[in-house]
Amino acid sequence: MSTLAGKHIVLGLSGGIAAFKSAELCRALVKAGVTVQVVMTEAAEHFMTAVTMQALSGRPVYTSQWDPREANNMAHINLSRDADAIVVAPASADFLSKLLHGGADELLSLMCLARPIDKVPLIVAPAMNREMWSNPATQRNVAQLKADGIHVLDVGQGDQACGETGDGRMLESDEILEELEAFFTPKALSGKSVLVTAGPTYEAIDPVRGITNLSSGKMGFAIARAARMAGAQVTLVAGPVHLPSPRGVLRFNVRSAREMLDAVVQQADAADVFIATAAVADWRPTHSADQKIKKDGSGQTPELSFVENPDILATIAQSLRGASGELFCVGFAAESHDLLQHATAKRLRKGVPLLVGNIGPATFGQDDNALLLVDEKGARELPHASKQALAVQLITDIASRLTR
């Protein structure tokens, strides 16, 4: 379940072409279990109708400080008092400037000014032309708004509605949703650095063929995302997978087990936690041919021999920082049967304090899973759930182990 479920968010729209993304954002918030109250400026109504936002949010939209529906005629007070946050998306350059100066000449800015600042956080998603964004006036405003405790989200980069290309686009609705989820997640890993391996490795036979496995990387990516939401700095070393990077995560793409080991060794010194979810190929071909191996028509098959790959988890767990516990190492075990028995033996063999078992064939490529957490005291099951929900539970469990 999303950390947003049950929240009440006031979604403010100021005037900008990015308002079309706010319709998607509104829908996504409602889907995540949020009640959404939309407030629009007059300028926003040039880009998006209140009817659309009412249909998507399921609530009448407020556009005027003189709205007679409020018995006391104080919409600016009433709307913010039970909100968990006010999110202004898009926040135009003009609206940012107005917030900075405490302007209050229409309902949205008036409501922002009138909100109880200790109780109702204000989150803004800027949206403007790249020249407007990079203008010193805007940058000064953004810096001061941050200093005033307002959460200013990043801007996106790319093609703009005006035909120019650069910084200043409003984040996409799914990116804003992710930022909001992160905002409401308790920061159990604040100040910690987490290193995650994910996906399969690919071991080349020749330039066009290789051996790999069915790991999709979804569990590792979900863990990286959950760790970042919990406030950690996250580095993700990913084998060949078709997954977008979780927001705010530093990603290194690798192909073979040896490349993965190199990347992990380089990053491990700075880490407090190492979580090895990658399904590393146990063996690689002894020789990888420089050119494609051709059939010669004789019906003879090529002779393939294999050598064992380095064990990345064991290497790190048995390093100075791993063995002393300074770097908390977590292994995964993908098994096909006798999970508890294999996971228990694997934990000891790898020399890690925590090993997470799962049934490989049942979970590869799926969006859900079930986990078995094995430590020196015994085993605890995290029952069947989405990989993202399990990742959140696992990260909470790991964080509690760091503070023991």
Chain contacts with ligand CTP (rule: CB under 6 A):
197, 257, 276, 278-280, 282, 309, 311-313, 331-334, 346, 350
In the numeric block, which tokens belong to residue 355?
A: 């090993």
Smallest separation, CB 229 to ligand CTP (Å):
22
Closer of 17 and 313 to ligand CTP (Cβ): 313
Choice between 254 and 257, CB closer to ligand CTP: 257
Minimum CB separation from ligand CTP for residue 209, in Å?
21
| Rounded Cα–Cα distance for residues 257 and 56 (Å) | 47
Catalytic, out of 26, 112, 162, 329: 162
- Whole-number Å distance between alpha carbons of 47 and 7: 27
Smallest gap from residue 282 Cβ to ligand CTP (A):
5
Cβ proximity to ligand CTP: between 67 and 397 the closer is 397
State in angstroms the smallest separation of the CB of 328 from ligand CTP: 14
Asked if 329 is an active-site residue, the reply is no
The answer to whether 77 and 99 have CB atoms below 8 angstroms apart is no
User: What distance in Å separates the CA atoms of residue 387 and residue 384, rounded to the nearest whole number?
Assistant: 9
Nearer to ligand CTP, 99 or 261 (CB): 261
- Min CB(232)–ligand CTP separation in Å: 19
Task: CB nearer to ligand CTP: give 92 or 215.
Answer: 215
Which residues are identified as catalytic? 162
